Structure 1
């Protein structure tokens, strides 16, 4: 079987009728070069026609880094937000000539170091660190930030007359999670005491036992804000097994607007997040570009039956 020869920079230059230096200037978007629009378009058209792909290793050696951005997705992170964030990150990187590599696991350890040493990425991102943003001064006032999204949960429950709220978290929350502090600030702004924490186990029977024990200690809690939709749905299932109903016994609100919430009984009230916008902004920040031109959407409340 004959292997198809890979197109080279020399091939692109010959087919375009320009020098190899000109092709390089166009592909690398080198500033301060007087290349006409017609020539630039002809070179790019030839690149597409020939299927030319720059040699990544050689370019990494020349530029000091490849055009790859690595995103580490730690275990236990999922949902609509992560999927739409990755989509936005990928689209924005592609638009600027970069490639996204998503790697499961933490950005530490021997395997991670081997990958990073081999590909010399332009930037390395940790999704867990991104999820922890929103705990800085002034973030409560940003309508598109994590603090505003989490605060919307608390404000909605407060508007329904609830004065004692709990934050339902995964049983093994990520280290350094800031959601409890963010929700605490939102509660204080509404004149309410800080939410108490309610870890929800993944096992249904364990979640039932945990909810029964929690209500025995905190009978004054009348509403629960879920760390995400999954945690909120586990809370609703535990409530059903205990003969409790939402919102009569406990109001429950989720976070992230996954498709499962609409099919629950009762249907889950939740907060919709513009993960794609956040991903695009993260891409531009990683590339050293201005992020103001890509504003993510505001927090959006999806009101259903559970509150």
Structure 2
């Protein structure tokens, strides 16, 4: 038997207006928080109470047509591949933006072409696009977004990106901090883990470049070590590290480093006596594993600070710059 059709009547703004005793225009002004509308607080309260009583939800698409954009903040899907540190920070950013009236959407398009990606983001007519180091956020991509009505384009990059509000953060600094620490501890044959998972090369390649820069200056040797995030891959790499005669490994981040450290121990390689291991992100994991993991700590602006900047960019078109991201090594037992 086919289900009965849903006979519940659709609630419209006209129903809210009728219950509140106001015009439909007033309902629209109140529920869409139109800043130019002069409406008393008492009337606003009546409209909101009527909407809540009826269960009315404003039509997002209609509001977008009036405004020329939505209240969406798009985060390109690359943020989902960036590890626990950034995923936790993005969760905080989502909450902070939600408290300011925005809806955060993780966009799944992973086209490698910057213009194709920008057009996909622009189709949503977002108020803002926030990219956490996505290589596709080029000046040309920013131009497409701004021309489509996006008010705030935010990115993390080593240098300012034309047209975007750029939070300066150079991933080479992570490799520099880790490698300087290892060289200072007397390590000269250093492996650098290079995750093979998609979306991580934007972070692993600059970190490798930072490690090579320090090694060239300090007389150390760097060996890139491709690795998949799995027990089997870590076991194979642990064997390879011994065969190559490495005395240290920078493990890309804490998750890869902890996995490799455990694999080394399983094969009888003492950490740090034979091979020192350093991670990055300074997660709780680094303090839970044994030996406790030396890690490179990020100093990021607060999620609330960035949410405020996004809101000011959307509303006013400008925001004061935030402090640069910087890095420091936190020494523990693994090095």
TM-score, normalization by structure 2: 0.65
Indicate how the Cα distance of structure 1 residues 133 and 107 shifts in structure 2: closer, same or farther if over 3 A, else same: same
Say whether residues 1:101 and 2:105 are aligned partners. Answer: yes
Does the 8 Å CA contact 1:171/1:199 hold for their aligned counterparts? yes
Question: Do residues 53 (structure 1) and 69 (structure 2) align?
Answer: no
CA drift of 1:249 comes to 1.4
Using the TM superposition, name which of 185-194 and 221-230 deviates more.
Answer: 185-194
Gaps of 5+ in 2: 137-154, 161-165
Q: Distance in 2 between matches of 1:249 and 1:163?
A: 12
Please give the residue correspondences for 1:22-61 in structure 2 after superposition, counting only pairs within 5 Å: 22-36=26-40, 39-40=43-44, 43-44=47-48, 46-48=50-52, 50-61=54-65
Deviations 1:10-50 (A, max 9, x none): 34444555433333334434344444555555545554555
Shift of 1:232: 0.6
Between the two structures, name the one with larger relative contact order (CA 8 Å, sep ≥ 6). 1
- Is 1:247 matched up with 2:275? no
Superposed displacement of residue 236, structure 1: 0.9
Deviations 1:59-108 (Å, cap 9, x if unpaired)? 23333443334434359826322431331332233223232233556258
Question: Contact 1:144/1:299 (CA < 8 Å) preserved in 2?
Answer: no
Q: Where does 1:48-87 land on structure 2 (aligned, <5 Å)? A: 48=52, 50-74=54-78, 77=81, 79-87=83-91
CA contact 2:298–2:328 (8 Å) conserved in 1 = yes
Structure 2 residue aligned with 1:167, among 192, 196, 200? 192
Corresponding residue SS for 1:288 = helix
Are 1:92 and 2:96 counterparts?
A: yes
Shift of 1:58: 2.2
Three-state SS of the structure 2 residue aligned to 1:181 is: helix
Following TM superposition, by how much is the alpha carbon of 1:228 offset from its aligned partner in structure 2, in angstroms? 1.7
Take 1:210 and 1:89, find their aligned partners in 2: how far apart are those partners?
Answer: 36
Partner residue in 1 for 2:306: 281
**Counterpart for residue 202 of structure 2:** 177
- Number of the residue aligned with 1:305: 333
* Mapped partners of 1:86, 1:143: distance in 2: 15
